[in-house]
Structure 1
């Protein structure tokens, strides 16, 4: 038995510092559409899902011994997840920085749509916050290597991104 205990990992809880660092990594730039989706999800959770989950907790609590009541434990877990999601959404909405589309002064900034050319190919990117990125649809984070290189640039300028094995030059065709 002693051998088994020596090889088992001790569970670690996240400390306050670790949690704070994880939260700082998320920026608060959100498009108006994302803000509306979060508001709709918040309303659905508060008005529909949380009351249903609370009713399920009450119903399963009436079944008797709570320590061995799997249905009760599952219902409580669901209610906790819903409450945590509500708190997360409220925190995001409270600190959200709305991205004004097309408000650039000719320079690339968060919210800009940029048309670039590289190696004879034309690509269109929308610069968004890190919570809304989807490179497959052309939505890139302002924190990504391409996003960082494009920020502050203007139409008809070239920006260079240094990769491990080569440099890639992007020519900015337009900034919307």
Structure 2
């Protein structure tokens, strides 16, 4: 088997986290519709530019063809995500799970994190991935439990205060 050498080929080998919220699913559905509406216009532009003659010296044609390929790739990726998505359902229960908001105490300060899939993370807003060190450590834990997470050559202890 030949290993990919191009950066774009290597990106195709990256695993995709398919855990998404209903809001993200709806956002992807809207994106798919926008891409489907834009595709015929781009295809017509490529066709029009192709009629200008020599492809090797037709820069406008090459650019339009590249934009159409990019749109098709994005549409394929969106279709794949929508067809294979695992919707995160908020479940009540004592243990932290995907979709839960967990309040922890660390060094005397309380911090709140929402645990979601990797594609929706935003650490600045307190949204962490279930694959992150902290997210993985919190999954399955209950209020009052302590978790230790290795971060930057030290171990940080978190105490779970609340799970919503």
Query: TM-score, normalised to structure 1's length?
Result: 0.84
* CA–CA distance in structure 2, aligned partners of residues 35 and 164 of structure 1: 34
The Cα offsets for residues 102-135 of structure 1, whole Å up to 9 and x where unpaired, read as: x141111111110111111111101011111110
1:46 to 22, 25, 36: 36
> How many Å apart are 1:13 and its aligned residue?
4.5
Aligned length: 161
Structure 2 residue aligned with 1:66: 55
Change (3 A) 1:29 1:61: same
Structure 2 residue aligned with 1:12: 5
> How many Å apart are 1:167 and its aligned residue?
2.1
Change (3 A) 1:20 1:59: closer
Structure 1 residue aligned with 2:18: 28
Structure 2 residue aligned with 1:87: 76
* CA–CA distance in structure 2, aligned partners of residues 164 and 54 of structure 1: 50
The Cα offsets for residues 60-82 of structure 1, whole Å up to 9 and x where unpaired, read as: 11222222111111111100000
Larger radius of gyration: 1
Q: Which runs of 5+ in 1 are unaligned?
A: 1-10
CA RMSD of aligned residues (A): 2.0
* CA–CA distance in structure 2, aligned partners of residues 84 and 164 of structure 1: 37
* CA–CA distance in structure 1, aligned partners of residues 92 and 16 of structure 2: 23
> How many Å apart are 1:27 and its aligned residue?
1.5
* CA–CA distance in structure 1, aligned partners of residues 61 and 137 of structure 2: 52
* CA–CA distance in structure 2, aligned partners of residues 167 and 13 of structure 1: 38
* CA–CA distance in structure 1, aligned partners of residues 72 and 33 of structure 2: 12
* CA–CA distance in structure 1, aligned partners of residues 117 and 58 of structure 2: 43
Q: Which runs of 5+ in 2 are unaligned?
A: none
> How many Å apart are 1:19 and its aligned residue?
6.5
* CA–CA distance in structure 1, aligned partners of residues 28 and 118 of structure 2: 15
2:147 to 147, 152, 159: 159
